[in-house]
Amino acid sequence: MGPRRRQVRALSLLRYAAVLAGAVVMLFPFLWTVITSITPEGSLAGGPTLVVENPTLAAYRTLLDTLPMWRIVVNSLWVAIASTLLQLITGSMAAYGFARLPFRGKNVVFALYLATLMVPMQVLVVPLFIEMKALNLQDTYMALLAPSIASAFGVFLLRQAVESVPKELDEAATLDGAGHLRIFVTIIVPLIRPALATVAVFAFMGSWNSFLWPLVVIRSPEFMTLPLGLATLQGQFTTEWDVVMAGSVFSILPIAVVYLLAQRHIIAGVAHTGIK
């Protein structure tokens, strides 16, 4: 083996070692969460540990007895899935309009729409709550869904994907008598599926992990989402951390499953839209 080849192999080993170290650092909090949830009377005082003596599922039984966990999970799933579907529909249609339909002031409108990304949710909470109260929608599923019907980031990402589709396909479909709706459904949507998968994962994660808006707009336990339920597990003076970690496992699993199922599409979607 020549010096050049040994150098290349050494660099490859260093890269793999760096990637492995990064993976361990990223996965350790999730592993610690699971281990703490099965530790009898788990506590954070002793620091992280990977060794469990006498593992037990008592924390999960306590969690199910303390909270209507299945109802809370169903609420979170329903809101997250509905929010994701609405963002895909509105985002893809808006993206097609910005990418394909000529109208006066299109670039200005798109720039203003993107500018809303710089407005934090904390600034919008009070106006949104006043609007929900005026519409008599507070403490309902619709109140949870209303702010997430559309996403500026989703529109931006999908517009980039639509613009990457050759316009010659649209022109050929127009010559065959297809209108905008048929072009959108039969040509654009199938070709931007990786970008749609990326937006779906981000939308699902954002809705699933949302805490501030449900905290403001929800009062009844039957509409409680998972982040709100987990917040009730922390007491003012003492906290059963094994129970909290058991609830965190419930919160992590759906996100992990969704990401693993759509991982290939996410990578393809990000690369396809030119966002590195």
Instruction: Give pLDDT, residue 276.
Output: 44
In terms of residue numbers, what domain contains 140? Answer: 68-272
- Give the whole-angstrom CA distance, residue 181 versus residue 27: 44
Is the pLDDT higher at 11 or at 156?
156
Residue 79 pLDDT level (bands cut at 50, 70, 90): very high
- Widest distance between CA atoms in the chain: 76
Q: Is the CB of residue 198 less than 8 Å from the CB of residue 269?
A: yes
Question: Is 238 in the same domain as 151?
Answer: yes
Question: Is 5 in the same domain as 76?
Answer: no
Q: Which pTM value belongs to this model? A: 0.79
Residue 108 has pLDDT above 80, yes or no: yes
**pLDDT tens-digit series, residues 187-227:** 999 988 888 988 888 899 888 888 888 988 988 888 888 88
Question: Is 31 in the same domain as 75?
Answer: no
- Within a domain: 88: yes
Question: Is 89 in the same domain as 191?
Answer: yes
Residues in contact with 240: Cβ distance below 8 Å, sequence separation at least 6, in sequence order: 41, 59, 62, 233
Question: Is 51 in the same domain as 82?
Answer: no
- Within a domain: 258: yes
**pLDDT tens-digit series, residues 53-77:** 777 888 888 888 888 888 888 999 9
- Within a domain: 46: yes
Question: Is 45 in the same domain as 84?
Answer: no
- Within a domain: 129: yes
Instruction: Give pLDDT, residue 94.
Output: 92
Taking residues 238-264, what's their average pLDDT?
A: 78
CATH, residue 119: 1.10.3720.10
- Within a domain: 192: yes
